[in-house]
Structure 1
């Protein structure tokens, strides 16, 4: 089958807890594709049917993702198998829409897209497929019955998890001020002047101040919880001189005491296995290489101060995509995602 033909299944998809989920990955040679492989190879309920890459077709996946040597004998393929239940699109922004326009995906195949192509409600439909915004801490019930998921952006996930509890109680009454720094993997695998080692190492820079593309999906989610929210989100993103992870600090005016704020956040995330709240200091080594988000909540005078940290490639991309898959197929939400942090 070439990549312009319809993807069909020859058997009934699993309904959660039955047979193994048959997964396909498009864009398996990039950073998010590599993370997807690392998770799914060890996932107890998944069989990887194909890993699509035109440029690497015929090569073992460990020829590109060298740490997978000894873990799998999978090879990249230029063809698309018809024997899948879920398709992960680990491609660049704009390329997911092009892929779905060029390929007729059978109705039963669940699509989880990691690009930004379907995150906004006005862009969430293509052909007969409608995409649900895949932030479990916001849309868990909708994800469970969804056929297609638009995985959130990395900055968007980190920042939303820092603000959703306030929005849920209508407490975002003033401007929000945010500074956040991301690792170099957030820029993708293709080299650019600002992702090259000799530029990035021992360096720090601001980019897309007040205009980052993730602001649109952040605003959309906050208005979902706090109808009419129209305050400015003043977001200053930084390029960090480390490989992976995001640390975001944000504050806004608030009348909450620290005890009230801490309880609000802990109550909101009480049923969510990957987001944890504390008033103690947190650092990136606690969460890098995991699907966790840690949130620190403090109050200073009339301001609530929130720090949110997570791994941009896992909770900010591939880990969250697998979390969504688990919910869609009725699995334990944490299946395959109990990962060890790099902390020592």
Structure 2
């Protein structure tokens, strides 16, 4: 039977929001900029916890301390929300030090994505909805917060649901240059691609493809398979820009273990296609290749599922803070994605 996590209460203007670094830290200038935007744009009071001030070398050596900071933030009655500084590549090391009772005793809205999807999948198992945003890049890039980002982040902070995830008119996967502060080049949104014609609703599970893959490989933090029955799988491929065949292979293994068929729907984020230092050159039709790879597996293992591609969540901008654990509805006839 599908589990339905509960969303912690929304924040209010003036609420205190803890800033923690369960993955990596960010430099002082980015931290200051993001905290200023929390205050000035959203009227929130950021409280910077110890890990957010630490250097990466210390955080790397102290996964237990990172877990402790998160739990302290959950337990603090003065804290109404918690936001991660940024992502990284090792947060799965932190999960072993978490005490689920300390998290569930005081459910609090947690915001993070990318490497923080480790913690978000852990929270899913504890019945806690969490939201996909971080200080960096969500609140640091661009000369001003993109109106689309602000609209949905405001809902994630203060509302009970995101509502309809509207299509943005423009998108980009360019890196923002903090030295020049030059605006990024935005492209017209080509729209979404739908597969299947059945309207489906279910609890969102998944997140960053790399993190989902780690959880499949370790098999330590996966829910019982029947808890995913009727859920909706959310996937986005991050700045790793994995080869489409790698995505296909991973989904195929999910199919072989009887996991892929549990989901009634699939939401795939618009893929990021650029990252500094990327070891291969993604082709211009990377998004199409990715879609074909996913559909080739879905058609074999779960042909009745409804899927939608190029939805605004993940690492390409602008992005909505898609909440894992919330109930989503995919409506192909109306071409709408709604998140309750």
The TM-score normalised by the length of structure 1 is 0.33
Select the structure that is richer in strand. 1
Select the structure that is richer in helix. 2
Higher relative contact order (CA 8 A, sep 6+): 2
Report which of the two structures shows the higher radius of gyration computed on alpha carbons: 1
